Structure 1
């Protein structure tokens, strides 16, 4: 399997397991699980060739650990990032570290400065535990900038935090009073 096939399959799985399962007639349960055989059949109707081996390779080779296969090997889900209303993953509440980071593009800063970080179409705001990961996330959307989040102080004031299986931190909203822009020096460096 080549890298291009793995990347395309990963993007397809993200699309149907996070956002549009109905695009291929797939049903997700409230925890985001889909039957792998139904996924393969739905993909075939969409003109995509998937098999269990390809799916397992995508799941195991993903450095971001976006997907999880059930213990019995029959079901698959995205571990976070859902926008579909039928999924409501029950993450365990956890105390966050003192600081977390949010990678975004400079073009979104004005909106963030007005309303803080909001989940938008997703169920949660996604936060990273380290700056390089936040930079990589921000680069997906344009010229990256990293925002420092006072996560522990938020938690102490009643905000709930969760951690997905892949290590991504999740919360519902980050008000501006907990966001610091003083990490602009970490934005887009060509040596990263």
Structure 2
């Protein structure tokens, strides 16, 4: 884990609140919420103590706004990216004409052939801008950015959602809606 306590805590919370709340004996409600006090108690009981002040810093300072507190500050959840069944109560939203997906260039051939699928997650994650998509792709290797024809998808009846932290979500993106923006030299 990272030596930076904010980064390390963010990674821990991503794991617990998106994928494995049971790993610390935590239960999420149907909408992905956990009581803050219960979360902190479960973390401490499993040898991963986190102070409330650090938790507040993680939620407030996360550049991707991965987590959100309830309006009264007593509950917390991950904003999206779950591999467990939760209903985030997302509302259908009208996307911009073009969205972007960042990936590693080594995955381009496969994606262009079979499209984007959510894998273990509930939705495919898309960005509203090329810079964000490039940063996402860089986490996995040399970045490549795909343009997604969201306007055509909507015309074809495909639904989009916008998460609380600005990530565009959809069930899948078929190859016919994809265009290559950038890749490593010699790759396609």
Indicate the TM-score class for this superposition, using the shorter chain for normalisation. Answer: over 0.9
- After TM superposition, list the pairs within 5 Å mapping 1:167-186 onto structure 2: 167-181=166-180, 183-184=181-182
SS at match of 2:4: helix
Long gaps (5+) in structure 1: none
Name the residue aligned to 1:134.
Answer: 133
Cα distance in 1 between the residues matched to 2:169 and 2:58: 23
- 2:17 match: 17
Report the count of equivalent residues. Answer: 184
Normalized against structure 2, the TM-score is what? 0.93
TM-score computed with the length of structure 1 as normaliser: 0.92
User: How many angstroms does 1:3 deviate by?
Assistant: 7.6
Counterpart CA distance in 1 for 2:42 and 2:142 is 36
2:125 counterpart of 1:121:
no
Counting only pairs closer than 5 Å after superposition, residues 1-192 of structure 1 correspond to structure 2 as 4-85=4-85, 87-181=86-180, 183-184=181-182
Distance 1:113 1:179 in 2: 7
Rounded to whole Å, the distance in 2 between the matches of 1:28 and 1:140 is 28
Long gaps (5+) in structure 2: none
| Whole-angstrom CA distance in 1 between matches of 2:123 and 2:48 | 30
- Alpha-carbon separation, structure 2, partners of 1:173 and 1:59: 29
C-alpha distance in structure 1 between counterparts of 2:69 and 2:6, whole Å? 16
**Cα deviation per residue 1:79-132 (whole Å; 9 max; x = unaligned)?**
1000012x1212110111000000001122232123200000000000000001
* Secondary structure class of the residue paired with 2:165: coil
Gap change, CA 1:165 and 1:3, over 3 Å in 2: farther
Shift of 1:59: 0.4
What is the alpha-carbon distance in structure 1 between the residues aligned to residue 58 and residue 143 of structure 2?
27
